[in-house]
Copies of this chain bind each other. A is one copy, B any other.
Amino acid sequence: MPRRSAAQVEMSRHATLDAAVQVASVVGLDGVTIGSLAEELGMSKSGLVGRFGSKQELQLATLERAANVFREVVYDRAAGAPEGLARLNAICDAWIAYLARPPFPGGCFMTTVSVEFDARDGPIADAVRTFMRRWLRALEHQARLAVDAGELQSDPADVAFTLNALAVGANCDFQLHRDERSLRRARAAMAAVLAAPSAHDRMS
């Protein structure tokens, strides 16, 4: 076998993880094993072990890949909007678009693995918790900037929690019934959270 360049190895690693993310979004991260993925990709198990080490390392790398996709498609896409309220609205737009046409067949990967691992301990559950905390903190940071700018009068952590809960709930509803109204309703509810000082006072 000819030796491959570092770029080729990296591309192949990405392609493998993309396949793993696709599988995990439907059957859960526990469905991603060296054996199942080797079969899916027509690779040898030993090749995959060489690339990722263990099942757990493969699952952690899969999670990281999905988190990167989420960041690119939701957070980075909104990065052109001014920080604060405009950024939060741009994030919500990108988030709803992500839920409408998720890059993974099973819908929001993070919701799937949250539900899968929330009752467990261990490195994967910890990684899911860390990702979710980071995401909530990013939302809270923008909400705080909006409050500081006088654009919003709610508690920033309440805003972050509520936007995330609406997205998670909308994802579950939309994945189950495939009714676009779920996403329109979620976006309208997000807008209510971000719109009115009076509404926020009631919520905080």
| Residues of A participating in the B interface, judged by any CB pair closer than 8 Å | 25-26, 28, 105-107, 111-112, 114-119, 128-129, 132-133, 157-158, 161-162, 164-170, 172-173, 175-177, 181-182, 185-186, 188-189, 191-193, 195-196, 198-199, 202-204
Contacts and interface: CB of A to CB of B under 8 A. Distances in A.
B172 A114 contact: yes
A128 B25 CA distance: 19
A162 B166 contact: yes
The 4 lowest CB-CB distance pairs between A and B, nearest first, are A165-B169, A118-B175, A168-B169, A199-B199
A173 B195 contact: no
Given A119-B107, A166-B166, A169-B164, A203 B176 contact: no
18 contacts: A25-B119, A26-B119, A28-B116, A106-B119, A111-B115, A114-B175, A115-B172, A132-B177, A158-B188, A161-B189, A162-B166, A164-B169, A165-B170, A166-B169, A167-B169, A191-B202, A191-B203, A196-B198
Nearest to A189: B162
A203 B189 contact: yes
